[in-house]
Structure formats: structure tokens, C-alpha cells
Amino acid sequence: MIIKSLYFDKAKSCADLCELFNKSFPSMSKAINELIEEGFVIEQGYAQSSGGRRPLLYAINAKAMYILAVAMDQLSTRIQLVDLQNHPVIDLWMFDLNLSESVNALDLLISQINHYINNSPVSKDKIAGIGIGMPGFINPVKGVNYTYLDPGLKTLTQYITDETGLDVYLDNDSSLIALAEQKFGVAKFQKEVMVINLGWGIGLGMIVNGEIFRGKNGFAGEFSHIPLSENGLLCACGKQGCLEAEASMLVVSNKAIEGIRQGRVTNLKQIDIENSKQIGDAIMEEALKGDRFAIELFTDAGIKIGKAIAILIHIMNPQTIVLSGRGAKVGKLLLAPIQQALHKYCIPRLAKGTELLISDLGFEAELIGAAVLVMENFDKDLKRDS
């Protein structure tokens, strides 16, 4: 628990830890010295003076062990080895992996993870575990994804553990993004936060009373399937008019491709329109440069996202809503149309009480959340092993 506390909250004094864990100073001092001897904790220096003797601060040793973070979306996967301060140890590895179309997706994922580990300068026994974020209906306790990567008779986490030799933890990508924002992002210390994952789909991580809210079966937060219209586009879920089918990054990309083919004036004409991922990134880049067509696409998406956020505010009355994930890059462009929609669809008293923020973690949030997932389970592993 000391290791987890220093991972999440940085440097603390012995007195801080005594108060946090309700332990005596001698017993806490002994535990800290043992962790120093084991290489998990280091002395950080003295705290700033507030009158009287300055306390000695202790921090996590970033190189004591490492975490393999895996962030997946519908089209690609990122793998990053990080230390205990979430700093990259070696270069990020990103590869295409279409979860819906690749019949060998699970085998490819495992081979890429093993290749990354084998080519890393870090010994496998120094890696605390693998945290994986991915889309789909996921039960993180059972380690099952009911939407993607069917491992047969085993759970998904057990299958990957057997193939890699490391403990594996799995959670929904949007839940991990919310976890990252709560622990290290703009939602830190806040208890009622809705974190919107703007990616190829549109996800939602819900922080209620300071904890990730999952609902009865673990599937709470299907924000992308809020119905916006009766006669809208057909969604992958089989319903019409879902937010995801009207305003996701994949939809924005498809609309851009259609506009280019119709001869719209835009710098996007220079992009390979057969590559959805490339054009998605390009639309954001060109919108930030002032491309009118790209801005128009995000304005339309922002109004629809704002309409869905109005529904969310009416139901949850959150303290804060955070725009995170890949699309946080164009968060400032989305704010105006979202606010316009809130003025139109949301009760003013409720809208006024909710702050709308843009993540400063952005596209890195899922990777950070995957690392956090491993550390959230760190003390459980120690209890199990003992």
C-alpha cells in the first residue's frame, strides 16, 4: 500500500503515511526502511519549511519495476513499457490491428507483445504486469471481453498470461481513460466526473463518488449508443441514430472522404482517402490549421456530442465533464458547438453547475490508464503470492 500511495501521490513524509494508513511512526518508519533496502522507495529530500523541522520526503523508485501498457482501439494497438513514474522506457510500438476484421487478432496481439518484451532492455522478471485497455463489453474482474478476441475455453487475461508469462489485467478503454484522468489528469481529486473518450467510437468512463462506476454487469457508460434520432444512420450495434453512428471519428472520416469525392475545397485532398486512420489524424491537423471543411466536420460532430452531453448532465449532474482520448487534440474546436448544443438542449441550472474541461493527457490517457490498472492490482498480487 505504501508503494501504491507513492505511485499515485508522489512524495510523502513518514507522518503523511502514518496518517493515511493509521499506523504508528515507528512501525511506518520500519516499513519504509525495508522498502528502501528492497529498492522500491528512495529519499526525495526535505519538504518546504512551514515552521519547525522540515520532514524528510519519500518517493517511489521509478526503476524498481516496470509496467507494460497496451492501448487498443478498433483499428490499431499501441504498446509502451513505462517505469513507476509512467515515463517511457523504450520507444512506443504501434501497429495496425482491426479488431472486427482480423481473424488472427489475438495471436497477432500476443506475438507483438512478446516481440516487444524480448527486444526490451528490461528483464521480464522486472515487469510487474501487463495492463490492456480495449473497446468492447468487458468484465474486468473475470478478464473477459464479450465483444472482441475470443480465446476459447480460457478467459482472455488467462490466455494472454499463459502466452506471455506475465500477469495480465484488462479493462474497457474508456474506463481506463477515466482512471488516468482521475489519478493523473484534470479530474484529479474530483469525485463526480464523466470522461468522454473521443476516438473511432465515443466512449464514456464514469467516476461516481470517487470510484469508477460500472453498473450491475460492468457495462455502464455506453454513451456512444445514446439515440439522437429515429431515422439516423445504422450503428454497428444494429440500432439507428446512435451518437457513435452520427459523430464518432470514424463517421467524421467517412464524411470527409465523401466530401473529397464530391469535390469539396480542402487540403485533405492530398491525403490517402483509403486509409481511415490516416485521414482521421489528418482531419484534426487540418482543422487546427484552419481548413474550413475540416472545421465544418468537427462543428457538426460537436453539436451532436453536445446534445448527448445534455442528456448525460440531466441524468448524472456531474461536477465535471472531460473531453479526452484521441479527439482531445481538437477539444478547443469542439467546445463552441458543444456549448451551443448545451444552451439549446440542457436545463440552464444543471448546465451551469457542470464544468467542461479538455484533457491534457489526450491520446496518452489510455496508456497511462493501462499502467494504473496494473498498479491498482499490485497489492492484490502480493496478498495472492503470499
List the one residue out of 186, 188, 189, 219 whose CA is nearest residue 205: 219
Q: From its phi and psi, is residue 312 left (phi > 0), alpha (psi between -120 and 50) or beta?
A: alpha
Segments making up each domain of the chain, as ranges = 2-60, 66-176+366-385, 187-360
| Res. 232 pLDDT band, cuts 50 70 90 | confident
* The pLDDT of residue 384 is above 60: no
* The pLDDT of residue 210 is above 50: yes
* The pLDDT of residue 383 is above 60: no
Q: What's the rounded mean pLDDT across residues 103-108?
A: 92
CA angle (185 as vertex; 303, 328 as ends), nearest 5:
30
Query: For the segment 270-301, what is each residue's pLDDT rounded down to a tens digit?
Result: 777 666 667 888 999 999 999 999 999 999 99
Q: What is the mean pLDDT of the chain?
A: 90
pLDDT of residue 386: 43
* CATH code assigned to 2-60: 1.10.10.10
Considering Cα of 104, then 145, then 252, then 286, what sign does the dihedral take? negative
* CATH code assigned to 66-176+366-385: 3.30.420.40
List the one residue out of 241, 249, 210 whose CA is nearest residue 225: 241
- DSSP one-letter code for 240: B
* The pLDDT of residue 169 is above 50: yes
pLDDT of residue 49: 65
pTM recorded for the entire structure: 0.91
> Per this entry, what is the length of the chain?
386
| Res. 54 pLDDT band, cuts 50 70 90 | confident
Q: What's the rounded mean pLDDT across residues 148-168?
A: 95
Percentage of the chain lying above the pLDDT 70 cut: 96
Task: Give the residue, 16 or 132, on which the prediction is more confident.
Answer: 132
Q: What's the rounded mean pLDDT across residues 111-140?
A: 95
**Start-to-end C-alpha separation, the chain:** 15
CA dihedral 279, 172, 230, 328 (to 10 degrees): -40
Query: For the segment 326-347, what is each residue's pLDDT rounded down to a tens digit?
Result: 999 999 999 999 999 999 999 9
How far is the C-alpha of 11 from the C-alpha of 212, rounded, in Å? 25
* The pLDDT of residue 165 is above 80: yes
CA dihedral 331, 334, 336, 339 (to 10 degrees): -100
Into which CATH architecture does domain 187-360 fall?
2-Layer Sandwich (3.30)
- Domain 187-360 in the same topology as domain 66-176+366-385: yes
- Quote the strand ranges of the chain, DSSP E: 12-13, 41-46, 56-60, 66-72, 76-82, 93-96, 127-134, 138-139, 144-145, 168-172, 193-198, 202-208, 211-212, 320-324, 355-358
pLDDT of residue 45: 85
The label of the residue with cell 446534445 reads 307
